Chain A
């Protein structure tokens, strides 16, 4: 049964010490660290604000709300502040952070390019444009789903457009991708400006909210819409993970290994659009989460997508939770737009990535 020739060089055939143990330990450390940090920050974040609530009291309120405790609240308004304002906002931060980070991971996988990100390539602004149309033309009155649906369709169309126009020979060049992003973002900005001009004062404010991004005013009804979209998309992403790994070899080689490239590609693009639009429709444009998080996670646990998708979901949730805490508390009595914060951090990070990509192996790939 020896089909392969014997080792050509006996000395080098000895297997190197396997790093499996090291990487397993890293993986466990990362997932434990992220999960613990997520819980701690969620409890701390819920307690901070105009009404200061100690973490223990937050915990009690949580148990009370879930019917697991009947200890009375230490102060009036604690339960209502937590359950109507802070908890939904925290849950929204977690869901949207996970959605954006996983959308970035998926997009990078299917584009075979570490610089692809829904915000950078214009999917977010395309989705925001779709949402803005429904606002200005008063289509939102019917249901929460109208804005979400319009932003989904616009986001899907934008993803397809970017995908089709920036690829050649089964790969995406960085230059083409970034330039396509510039064009798409410019068009969407123009469209948003036009709608701002056309709209009345109320819709203008809403459009500005979309452009800057904010988790202010998150409600449970919205979470009821986002949560199923995000959770179902995550399940699909996990199912595709192994096949997405093979995209790193180029589409031809992936196909030679039995991957139905066209199908995986389409499903992934739809997932990117669903995740991005779930986020954009309710929180506006929050850029760079999908760029920063997967990149950092890859540095810790490597690029294999099964672990990466899970780590990115946790990391994105944590990043947005912390960013939202900063947005709420950095300036007293003011709520900063969270999209502004992520862009202030993400812009320089993107610049650094670009420089590194250009000077590193592979050049402008």
Chain B
């Protein structure tokens, strides 16, 4: 699927999204992020790429509100993130972390039910069961409903965690490496799901390591290196052979996919 045309980030487009402006994060003497600006826009899948230690997870933590930037601002729907009450925030943005392990032997369905925690005493509470079933079907974990999560494989745990995040029904989704530990089909499934969410109007941010998955499924890509944004744009704009070699230190060929036309990144071996 090719990227939907990328317009400029007009103010009217940003409304409703999650926007970080000139964010810098420093701890002790290390600077994890330097002057990073980033926007997650409704209807778009925005991939966050970069080598290990580039600051992807730090940026995601800033966007999620886990980490307060040293300088710069983050706002959700034009309201500073810090001003959001926790529960209202949870109804608006959901986060899939890389940590999927669960203490105690909760069953998969119970874990997915936890995704409904932000919604009690709201009209949406009536949808709990339907949302849970739907999220579990979409992530292909319905058959695991009664199994304790602790007994599942890494990939199954990751899918249960994703089902929980989807059951939360938040229009802004932050997914930290949702495809790690997944097999080929489930990787594609997860990103198809991300696309479907975006098509329905969600803003989706996804941290990925696989450049080809990012090229195939995202509308825009932000490439980070050592805490700085080195490129931002459509997959075709960002993923050039020279830039990838410069950032990752690995020579690559970039060719066009024969059918879809999206860039294909092939390491030179």
Contact = CB atoms under 8 A, between A and B. Distances in A.
A112 interface: yes
B117 A248 contact: no
B102 to A, nearest CB: 5
A252 B146 contact: no
Contact of A14 (B105, B142, B164, B197): B142
Contact of B66 (A8, A255, A361): A255
Interface in B61-119: 64, 66, 86-91, 93-95, 97, 99, 101-107, 110-111, 114-115, 117-118
Contact of B99 (A3, A14, A242, A253): A253
Contact of A5 (B118, B145, B151, B192): B192
Contact of B117 (A12, A258, A298, A365): A258
Contact of B105 (A12, A255, A259, A302): A302
B106 A248 contact: yes
Contacts of B93: 256
B104 A258 contact: no
B105 A298 contact: yes
A248 B103 contact: yes
Instruction: Give chain A's interface secondary structure class.
Output: loop
A15 B189 CA distance: 20
Contacts of A253: 95, 97, 99
Interface stretch (B21-29, B133-141, B253-261): B133-141
B87 A258 contact: yes
Contacts of B134: 4
Interface in A289-314: 298, 302-304
Contacts of A14: 142
A90 interface: no
A298 B146 CA distance: 15
Contacts of B90: 256-258
Given A248-B102, A257-B90, A365-B103, A16 B140 contact: no
Interface in A222-268: 242, 245-250, 252-253, 255-260
Contact of B106 (A114, A242, A304): A304
Interface string A1-43: 0111111110011111011000000000000000000000000
Interface of B: 64, 66, 86-91, 93-95, 97, 99, 101-107, 110-111, 114-115, 117-118, 133-135, 137-140, 142-143, 145-146, 150-151, 164, 166, 168-169, 189, 192-193, 196-197, 200-202
